[in-house]
Copies of this chain bind each other. A is one copy, B any other.
Amino acid sequence: MPELLPLLDEPSPERADASRNRQAILAAALRLVQAHGVEEVTMDAVASAAGVGKGTLFRRFASREGLMAAVLNQSEIEWQTSVISGPPPLGPGAPALARLLAFGHSRLRLNLDHGALIRAAGASGARSVAAASFASMHVRHLLGELGVRGDLPLLASSLLAPLEVPIVEQQVHGEQMGLERISAGWDDLVRRVVRAD
């Protein structure tokens, strides 16, 4: 029997190692950011928490901005995963309205966390079009399940707009509104939009 050739998409042991390394760094950085806030997290602290040298950190991410952009991306991916396949009501298995409300609450909290990350990521911090499309398609899908008729892409965009980072930051930091009040306001908006059909 001939020796098996390695499959094309099977990473070499070296690459698999680098990838594990990268995941460990991102996980450590995200934990630190969530625990202490972006401003408090230094490259030294991330290197130490991930058990790698500071040189490795800079080799992989070029700069603190580069690392924060990767952390932002990682956080977005984890959130998308919990929407697609996490426990209900954010994930599948709950009624569409409960899912939509859970989506808004969790997006609101995520965006508030992401404000500081976006700034720390500098020029690379603009949220990707792919991330925006995901949120839009999810909301559209749930509106469809709820029997809402009309221009669903635009309605989805209208429901997502109040959750955007600058708006939520202005409400929380500028107008001293609490997250509970903002969540309740979003629920009211959604219920009004859905009830109209």
* Chain A residues within CB distance 8 Å of chain B: 129, 132, 150-151, 153-155, 157-158, 161-162, 164, 166-167, 170-171, 174-175, 177, 181-182, 184-186, 188-189, 191-193, 195-196
Closest B residue to A195 by beta carbon equals B196
Is there an interface contact between B188 and A155, defined as CB atoms closer than 8 Å?
yes
| Residue in B closest to A167 when the chains form the complex, CB atoms | B161
- How many copies the complex holds: the figure is 2
Residues from chain B with a CB closer than 8 A to the CB of A188 are 150-151, 154-155
Q: Which residues of B contact A186 (CB under 8 A)?
A: 158
Q: How far is the CA of A171 from the CA of B161 in the complex (A)?
A: 12
22 pairs, A vs B, C-beta closer than 8 Å = A129-B174, A132-B170, A150-B185, A150-B188, A153-B175, A154-B171, A154-B177, A154-B181, A155-B185, A155-B188, A155-B189, A157-B162, A158-B162, A158-B186, A161-B161, A161-B167, A191-B196, A192-B192, A192-B195, A192-B196, A195-B196, A196-B196
